[in-house]
Amino acid sequence: MALLSVFFIGRVVLFSLYFERFADSGVNYWLSFLYGLKMDVIVVCASLLIPVILLCLFPKQLKKFVNQFLTGYFLVLFLFFIYIENATFPFFAEYDVRPNFLFVEYLEYPQEVFNMIFSAYKLELFIALLMLVSAGTIFLKNKRLHDFSSVFEIHYFKRFVLFFPLVFVLAIGIRSSFGHRPANISDAMYSSNRIVNEITKNSVYSIAYAIYRDKKYGKSKLDVYGEMDIKQAMNLVSKELNIALSPESKSPFKREEKTHFSVKKPKNLVIFLQESLGAQFVEVTGGEPGITPHFNRLSQEGILFTNLFSNGTRSIRGIAGSVSGNFSVPGKGVVKRNKSQSGFFTIASLLKPLGYRSLFFYGGESRFDNMRGWFLGNGFDEIIDQPKFIDPEFTGTWGVSDEDMVLRAHQ
């Protein structure tokens, strides 16, 4: 019950925080707690398998070992569940979803993640730490929660016989379905409102399911796409984009677009990639006024795309897509894929034969997400990242400010 209560409290808090987002949606949002209980039961029943095996099948002579092991096991499990529920709130605030594989992927960079959490979520971190210490103290002081000695007073044969119905009950809880297929994360998607569905999910289950999917389908990410004959696909692209097709060429859509501007000498090309500058912050795209006056002015002097959307979920996918023209694909981004570390098309490799020298400025550390290796392996001549900035005006969790990058580029 203690484990279930952690998930219930977390769901109640999320429900309260985002109630206005679905109050008038017309869905029966109270069912979130019923369907959510199913997801919680799956996690708890799976967590109880090891204790049931130890308590039912291990002999009395190992009582001390089992008791110590299960004390540590339940303590870690209890604190882990509390931690994940606490981590859910800032993650939900950022992405409108419970923790998923993106949550796990970020853990590859513990220093950056910890610095970001410490700088942006001090209060949340303090509350989480306080809860973990309090919960751990209560658990250890309450002997009834972690003393299993009395179980071994039951005759071994009785414990052995009891093992089978207990495992059967746990199996039912894990399966949580009497249908042809066991319950899975789609069971939480009971409504047409995405926020309600996300609240219904269980964060631990969501993370575990994401890892499972990645391990199972990690080597065949293209399986999520529909199938189409390659010739049919090429003909379709040629028709829709009005591009002449050269099917025998290694680059069937390669073409030359001649500019109608007279160019006396090659121009310098500067590309700004503004991370997290969404349309909601830009007045000219209907966003909040007063934040981007210079961008608003520049939009009148050039071409402004107002119906252009990203198909990626992280900055690195946008960065790679901007310099290579490559769409985001399921799984790992292109910068981390083995076959894209060299010989992969980028604007830098295109311009190099024309005498261009390409630099990539990054305010943080370029080792993050393998950016340094990927850029240098695909046409870029130099990387200027955080360690190469001298006396920056401002340094945050993820590196120096945009102003510092512009000043460094001028040098």
**Residues 315/206, Cβ–Cβ less than 8 Å:** no
* H helix runs in 48-62, sequence order: 49-57
Strand ranges (DSSP E) for 93-153? none
Q: What is the pLDDT of residue 289?
A: 92
- Summary mean pLDDT of the chain: 86
Cα(49)–Cα(174) distance, rounded to whole angstroms?
10
Nearest to 11 by CA among 200, 195, 191: 200
Task: Specify burial of residue 123 (Cβ count, 10 A radius: 0-12, 13-18, 19+).
Answer: exposed
Cα(338)–Cα(358) distance, rounded to whole angstroms?
23
**Residues 350/254, Cβ–Cβ less than 8 Å:** no
> What domains are defined for the chain?
2-219 (no CATH), 265-410 (3.40.720.10)
User: What count of Cα atoms within 13 Å lies in the side-chain half-sphere of residue 277?
Assistant: 12
Q: What is the pLDDT of residue 48?
A: 94
- 140-158 burial, b for 16+ CB within 10 Å, e for fewer? eeeeeebebeebbeeeeee
Sign of the Cα torsion 56, 170, 210, 73 reads negative
Question: Which tokens in the block code for residue 68?
Answer: 């110590």
Amino acid at 101: F
Instruction: Write out pLDDT tens, residues 99-123.
Output: 887 787 777 777 777 777 777 777 8
What is the reported pTM? 0.62
Instruction: Write out pLDDT tens, residues 364-388.
Output: 888 777 788 888 888 898 889 888 8
Beta partners for 175?
Answer: none
3-class DSSP state of 95: helix
Sign of the Cα torsion 340, 230, 318, 242 reads positive
3-class DSSP state of 19: helix
Q: What is the pLDDT of residue 382?
A: 87
Question: Does the pLDDT value for residue 330 go beyond 90?
Answer: no
Name the least confident of 114-123, 148-157, 204-213, 402-411: 114-123
Cα(234)–Cα(242) distance, rounded to whole angstroms?
12
List phi, psi (to 5°) of 267: -95, 150
Percent of the chain with pLDDT over 70: 97
Q: How confident is the model at residue 7 (pLDDT cuts 50, 70, 90)?
A: very high
The predicted model gives 322-343 an average pLDDT of 81
Q: What is the pLDDT of residue 222?
A: 61
Q: How confident is the model at residue 166 (pLDDT cuts 50, 70, 90)?
A: very high
| Greater pLDDT, 222 or 399 | 399
Residue 169: partners with Cβ closer than 8 Å, 6 or more residues away: 45
Percent of the chain with pLDDT over 90: 31
Question: Which tokens in the block code for residue 157?
Answer: 């044969």
The predicted model gives 202-216 an average pLDDT of 83
- Nearest-5° Cα angle at 167, 165 to 172: 95
Instruction: Write out pLDDT tens, residues 23-72.
Output: 887 889 899 999 999 999 999 999 999 999 999 999 988 988 998 899 99
Question: Which tokens in the block code for residue 27?
Answer: 């869905």
Residue with tokens 């299960």: 70
Question: Does the pLDDT value for residue 12 go beyond 90?
Answer: yes
Cα(226)–Cα(247) distance, rounded to whole angstroms?
22
